[in-house]
Amino acid sequence: MEIRLDGKHALVCGASRGIGQAIAEVLAEAGASVTLLARDAARLAAVRSGLAAGAGQRHHTIAVDVSDAAALDAALTQMLETQGPVDVLVNNSGGPAAGPAHLAEPEAFEAAFRQHLLANHRLVQAVLPGMRRNSQERGGSRIINIISTSVYEPIPGLGVSNTIRGAVASWAKTLSKELGPDGITVNNVLPGFTDTDRLEQLFRGKAERSGVSFEAVRDAALAQVPLGRFAEARETAMAVCFLASDAGGYISGVSLAVDGGRLASI
């Protein structure tokens, strides 16, 4: 079975690097036209230049900070007017700073709530009319949120992130019930330890706080993964591509861990 997304328009957030970039690349390889959204215009242009582009594919970029509500709304309005409806929305944004929940300032929770749940919600509200109009004739629409395994098991030292990721998961589950009758699936993909700049930053921060070496922190994390290695960003992207395709059309309301078996819960 070959998974294809020909004729589909995918909007991928956080697409300038890491998992978001890998998702954009894989969806483009599957035939989708991809709009890449992130803050860094130069990075977005570089990623766009490397995307596969077959007949009928058109790739675009949107440089905007998703926590700036007015700017995000304006950018989305322009995109929908010029590029048409979105078939696949991938909500993805960098995680909040590390630290225990009880030491976090209330403002940190507010900022994370805006960057993640509220931004995701604005994105959904913007693309939803087009998704509803076109869902049946174009084979169903997809909303896919990149969150974290912390929605099942909180990760020590990521208090703000654990809190906000859980809120996004509950929001998504609610949407899956509400939007299912429109032929729109809503799912979450939960990356485990993935070989990205974000993971390295977390490990280096933990090493500095605990007074041990970076290598010791990395090896301790690796020991938690039954498959014995960290994921490549592309492996998470392949899970997203499956959920975005017709093959994943009867899957909705799930949180799929891509973690090498690290989660202890079922």
pLDDT digits (tens, 9 = 90+) for 44-88: 999 999 999 988 999 999 999 999 999 999 999 999 999 999 999
Q: Give the separation between CA 152 and CA 85, rounded to whole angstroms.
A: 33
Asked, for residue 125, whether it belongs to a domain, the answer is: yes
Beta bridge partners of 221: none
Asked, for residue 18, whether it belongs to a domain, the answer is: yes
Enter the pTM of the model.
0.95
In this structure, are residues 244 and 144 in contact, taking their beta carbons and an 8 Å threshold? Answer: yes
Task: Count other Cβ atoms within 10 Å, centred on residue 154.
Answer: 17
| Residue 236 pLDDT grade (very low, low, confident, very high; cuts 50, 70, 90) | very high
CB contact burial 192-203 (16+ within 10 A = b; e otherwise): bbbebeebeebb
For residues 142 and 25, membership in a common domain is answered with yes
Q: Give the separation between CA 93 and CA 15, rounded to whole angstroms.
A: 9
Q: Residue 94 has what pLDDT?
A: 86
For residues 49 and 68, membership in a common domain is answered with yes
Residue 32: alpha-carbon gap to chain centroid: 17
| Residue 185 pLDDT grade (very low, low, confident, very high; cuts 50, 70, 90) | very high
Asked, for residue 183, whether it belongs to a domain, the answer is: yes
Domain membership of residue 146 as a residue range: 9-192+233-258
Average of per-residue pLDDT across 246-265? 96
For residues 29 and 57, membership in a common domain is answered with yes
Q: Cα dihedral sign for 52, 57, 63, 66? A: negative
Q: Residue 140 has what pLDDT?
A: 86
Hey, what are 106's tokens? 């209330």
Q: Which of 75, 176, 179, 93 is nearest to 128 (CA)?
A: 179
DSSP 192: -
Q: Residue 205 has what pLDDT?
A: 87
| Residue 139 pLDDT grade (very low, low, confident, very high; cuts 50, 70, 90) | confident
Number of compact structural domains in the chain = 2
For residues 158 and 250, membership in a common domain is answered with yes
**pLDDT at residue 197 tops 90:** no
**pLDDT at residue 97 tops 90:** no
Q: Residue 258 has what pLDDT?
A: 97
**pLDDT at residue 33 tops 80:** yes
